[in-house]
């Protein structure tokens, strides 16, 4: 049974760095073709892809946010961590982690999402 769960602070102040952790089970990030990705969704707005890390530790970032994002993994803990620097109120959103299968090219399992509010 594949599950993913996001964790981190629900509230951050402007200019601070956000660190989110995705803890997963039911699959291995060391398996060829398996990736974990982050997607966010501001309230009432569309989904936005942020970053992806694959089984080979290759990392891919949204062009518009790449200077602020870092994605990393700890396969021994079944965790993927996303950091986003210089947070702004426009970054207020629900942040999802999801499993991505490169062979299929899709996000097949999603976490429940975590709401992060940026406010002083």
Region 14-43 residues binding other proteins, contact defined as CB under 8 A: 37, 39
Q: Which of 84, 96, 116, 118 binds other proteins (CB under 8 A)?
A: 96
12, β-bridge pairs: 118
Compute the distance between CA of residue 93 and CA of residue 42 in angstroms, rounded to an integer: 4
Residue reference for tokens 């996001």: 6
Q: Which stretch binds other proteins (CB under 8 A): 8-16, 18-26, 58-66, 72-80?
A: 58-66
Residue (5 or 21) nearer to other proteins, CB: 5
Residue reference for tokens 């426009």: 90
Q: Which of 49, 55, 69, 70 binds other proteins (CB under 8 A)?
A: 49
Compute the distance between CA of residue 6 and CA of residue 112 in angstroms, rounded to an integer: 7
Q: Cβ contacts of residue 107 below 8 Å, gap of 6+?
A: 37, 39, 98, 99, 100
By the rule CB under 8 A, 104 interacts with other proteins: yes
Q: Which of 21, 62, 79, 83 binds other proteins (CB under 8 A)?
A: 62
Minimal distance, residue 38 CB to other proteins, in Å: 11
Question: Do residues 51 and 61 lie in contact, with contact meaning Cβ atoms separated by under 8 Å?
Answer: yes
By the rule CB under 8 A, 78 interacts with other proteins: no
């Amino acid at each position: 049974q594949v599950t993913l769960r996001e964790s981190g602070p629900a509230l951050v102040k402007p200019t601070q760095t956000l660190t989110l952790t995705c803890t997963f089970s039911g699959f291995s990030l060391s398996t060829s073709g398996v990736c974990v990705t982050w997607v966010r969704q501001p309230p009432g707005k569309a989904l936005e892809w942020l970053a992806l890390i694959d089984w080979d530790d290759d990392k891919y970032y949204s062009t518009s946010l790449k200077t602020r994002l870092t994605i990393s993994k700890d396969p021994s803990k079944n965790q993927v961590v996303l950091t986003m620097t210089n947070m702004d109120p426009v970054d207020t959103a629900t942040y999802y982690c999801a499993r991505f299968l490169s062979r299929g090219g899709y996000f097949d399992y999603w976490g429940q999402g975590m709401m992060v509010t940026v406010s002083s």
